[in-house]
A and B are shown apart, each in its own frame.
Chain A
Amino acid sequence: MNRRLMLGGLAIGAGALILLAPLAVRQFRLAEQRRMVERLEWAALRQQPRPVGPGQTQVTPPGQAPATEPEPPGAPTPATPEPDPEYLIEIPKLGVRYVVMPTIENDDLARGPGHYPGTGLPGQPGNAAIAGHRTVKGIASYFYNLHLLAPGDTIIVRYPDSTLTFTVERVFITGAYDLTVLAPTPYPALTLTTCDPPGTDEHRLIVQARLD
């Protein structure tokens, strides 16, 4: 009798574990993202950006040195710091903030949205592209609600020392092989890609935004 009780309990427990595993993985990833966001925000606080206007912080595209007073002649030239590719993307309409991973490799995309290598960083001239999973094991993930964006919505990109605001211009669906969405643009643009319909590899949902 006790053996049957144990067997039944074990079966129910194992079944529940299997069913809940994807949810647990999702929660683990989201918690990891929260930690990364907090770390980046803490790093931004330590940068103490200089305000340039009411309610705004200085906007400095990555890779460009912030405007500073001219150095006196003969002053030692400081070493030029490498641009920090780590940045955060915030979509106010969807209420999400994610740290963007440096690549679109499998491991990075599992941890968060990933930056397409070969495309510029947001704010630089050209098209910065970011990919994100819409579902993970069938459960809603980073870019699940991306289809709710519409032209005019804002996407915010935060670097430790600057903040950029992009305005959505287009939201559309295209084929998986359409690589024109990653093509460079003559102006600083931001492109988000994810799968469509959710949980399939049929098409891609594209959100294109432009730097304000």
Chain B
Amino acid sequence: MRQKVLFWLSAIILAAGAVLPAAAAAAADWPAYGAGAVGAAHFAVSRRVSTTDDPSTAQPVATVRGGGAVYYFYTVYNTGTVPLTITSAVDDRLGPVDFSPATVPPGGTATAYKMKEHPAAAGVAAETGLVTVLATAEGRPLPPGIASATVVSLGQGGCCGWSATPPAPPPSGDCHTPSFPCQPRGGLSGRICAPGAPGAEILAVGPGGATTSVTIPSNGQLGYWRNWVLGNLVPGLWQLTLKVPGKPAATQTVTVSAGATSQVPDFSSACTGDATNHGSTLAGALLIAAGAAVLAWRRIRPV
């Protein structure tokens, strides 16, 4: 009896010692992401994007400015030890994907690519797509393999309506942060009465304390409207303050609309204060005096 118990106990211990390491080894073969596997059959999937048709330039994220073609490159890697058959592949943005070849030997790859024209975005639009690949190995279905990639579309002017070079450093929450839902910038335009020396300044304070200003220097003339423009403004309410030396400040609150330049009401009544141009008066008087001197000198010279 005692011998029987020892026999079965030893048998159980031996069996456990054989099975547990094999189970642990099988579990270790499961990849973390983007792959399907059963036993010795497993595979990996990638989805990469590029603005050229060269697969070597493809990356998980591509940026297209002002619209244009984007190439999507898909790859299935058979990382297992048995042949793999791709039964279906679907891109949730672009539809079915046809891999070639459909049967991938161990260590081999199957590829596919698609092209899509992206329209010019009004601001920044980020589009993340997923490809889901189903495959079988030795007649058994494998867990799906999934991969994603992102295309960032920028407007014609670049990023968030910046006309040329984005400001440095980019403000917090700006479109340079990929997760930021970018909004096109807006602008304001208006006019003020031509200021005397040294000029005038319009200070603008916007959402979140954003501040900018425009200076209108004096050109020595009064009595007519002079236009001003403020660009690259975050949409929202802005307070404008007109500062003219020697005059009280004038303020008004205006709304900046995304992607548009709004007309600001005049700060003052009509510009009707036209000053004498002392420069031209002095020039005329000097010319007459000079001419008279020349004539007088000619007259008295014979004497």
Per-residue CB proximity of A87-131 to B under 8 Å, as 1/0?
000000000000000001110010000101000000000000001
A8 touches B225 (CB 8 A): no
Residues of A within 8 A of B280 (CB): 18-19, 21-22
A179 touches B268 (CB 8 A): yes
Residues of B within 8 A of A13 (CB): 291
Distance of A1 Cα from B295 Cα, bound (Å):
10
A175 touches B248 (CB 8 A): yes
Residue from the set A8, A104, A134, A177 with the largest chain B CB neighbour count within 10 Å? A177
Chain B CB within 8 A of A202 CB: yes
Determine the main DSSP class of A at the interface with B.
Answer: mixed
Distance of A145 Cα from B290 Cα, bound (Å):
36
Chain B CB within 8 A of A204 CB: yes
Residues of A within 8 A of B268 (CB): 176-177, 179
Chain B CB within 8 A of A135 CB: yes
Per-residue CB proximity of B34-47 to A under 8 Å, as 1/0?
00000000000000
Chain B CB within 8 A of A138 CB: yes
CB distance from A105 to the nearest CB of B (A): 7
Chain B CB within 8 A of A9 CB: yes
Distance of A177 Cα from B251 Cα, bound (Å):
9
Chain A CB within 8 A of B165 CB: no
Chain B CB within 8 A of A10 CB: yes
Residues of A within 8 A of B285 (CB): 15, 19
Distance of A4 Cα from B301 Cα, bound (Å):
12
Distance of A209 Cα from B212 Cα, bound (Å):
42
Q: For chains A and B in complex, what number of residue pairs have CB atoms within 8 angstroms?
A: 142
Interface size on A, residues (CB 8 A): 49
B225 touches A11 (CB 8 A): no
Q: Which residues of B contact A (CB under 8 A)?
A: 193-196, 222-225, 242, 247-248, 250, 266-277, 280-281, 283-295, 297-298
Instruction: Give 29 CB contacts A-B under 8 Å.
Output: A4-B295, A4-B297, A7-B294, A8-B291, A8-B292, A8-B295, A11-B291, A15-B289, A16-B288, A18-B287, A104-B270, A106-B224, A106-B225, A109-B224, A109-B270, A109-B271, A116-B270, A131-B270, A133-B223, A133-B274, A135-B275, A136-B274, A138-B276, A179-B268, A182-B269, A193-B272, A201-B223, A201-B275, A202-B247
